[in-house]
Amino acid sequence: MTLVASSAAIHDLRHVIRDGIMFGMQYLHPISEDAMVAVFLKTELASARFGPPILAILQRDGQEPQIIDQPNLTNPADNAYRRQVLGEWRGYQRDADVFKDFPPDVRWYRAVATIADLAQLRYINDDYWIELSGGSRLVTDAVARIRQGIEAFQVSNAGFWYMVEALCAGAVFPELILVGKDERSPLVVLEGHVRLTAYLLRPNCVPTTVPVLVGYAPQMEK
């Protein structure tokens, strides 16, 4: 079951006070969980690192890439197949990988975030991102360490700087996917860690607002 919010609720969520500070995240409209699944897969299909395994699943199943890179959200069979692929690839609805302990009832929104909003975000609870951020999971701490040349587990930081170069050259990145318990709780990145890090490494290259998807559930533990 996927929960969505009313138009009145959207209006109430446009500005949220955190620690006495008003942040500018604007919630545009509710979306279905199928829309989140479609964005997640489309983003990773375009990745040089993650795309090939997804393509292999599609080829095995006799499916064309268009089912992911040109998703039709009005087709129930397509939606069901994308959920199946995300389950196999990332553990969606299988209580595994990035969707470990993921609650079944999540309110999803399409929104836009400011650089101030992005600076509040935390990475997912993963060994690499914990190490990169010095244990805090705060993206701002990871950015400070990257600028100092500190690497996590001897993994090069070159990918972040490559993304920064693309950002400052005018590249438009896919939506980040964020999750939290509710509108007044800290948000965690579910998908888009490298893009988020690039935004904070060169905030002067970031547009006034960045598109994001946000999911809320009281049981969210990421």
Q: Write the pLDDT tens digit of every residue in 91-104.
A: 999 999 999 999 99
CA angle 28, 32, 33 (to 5 degrees): 120
15 pLDDT more than 80 = no
pLDDT over 90 for what percent of the chain? 83
Residues 62 and 170 occupy one common structural domain: no
Residues 42 and 63 occupy one common structural domain: yes
Length of the chain: 222
Number of domains in the chain: 2
Structure pTM? 0.88
From 54, 82, 100, the end of a domain falls on 100
Average pLDDT score over residue span 56-85? 98
Using CA atoms, how far apart are residues 61 and 181, in angstroms rounded to an integer?
36
Residues 166 and 210 occupy one common structural domain: yes
Q: Write the pLDDT tens digit of every residue in 59-72.
A: 999 999 999 999 99
From 74, 100, 126, the end of a domain falls on 100
Residues 40 and 130 occupy one common structural domain: no
Q: Which residue has the higher pLDDT, 219 or 20?
A: 219
Residues 139 and 207 occupy one common structural domain: yes
Residues 193 and 214 occupy one common structural domain: yes
Using CA atoms, how far apart are residues 148 and 22, in angstroms rounded to an integer?
31
Which pLDDT belongs to residue 181?
94
Q: Write the pLDDT tens digit of every residue in 150-199.
A: 999 999 999 999 999 999 999 999 999 999 999 888 999 999 999 999 99
3-state SS, one letter per residue, for 138-186: EHHHHHHHHHCCCCECCECCHHHHHHHHHHHCCCCCCCEEEEECCCCCC
Q: Write the pLDDT tens digit of every residue in 27-40.
A: 899 999 999 999 99
Residues 46 and 24 occupy one common structural domain: no
Residues 125 and 147 occupy one common structural domain: yes
3-state secondary structure of 172: coil
Residues 164 and 220 occupy one common structural domain: yes
Output the six-digit token pair for 189. 């990145």
- Which of these ranges, 15-19, 109-113, 144-148, has the smallest mean pLDDT? 15-19
68 in Cβ contact with 40 (< 8 Å): no
Residues 59 and 116 occupy one common structural domain: no
From 40, 68, 100, the end of a domain falls on 100
Residue 116 belongs to domain spanning: 1-30+109-222
Which pLDDT belongs to residue 73?
98
Residues 76 and 4 occupy one common structural domain: no
Residue 24: pLDDT band by 50, 70, 90 thresholds?
low
Output the six-digit token pair for 86. 């995300």
Residues 95 and 1 occupy one common structural domain: no
Which pLDDT belongs to residue 3?
34
Using CA atoms, how far apart are residues 113 and 90, in angstroms rounded to an integer?
25
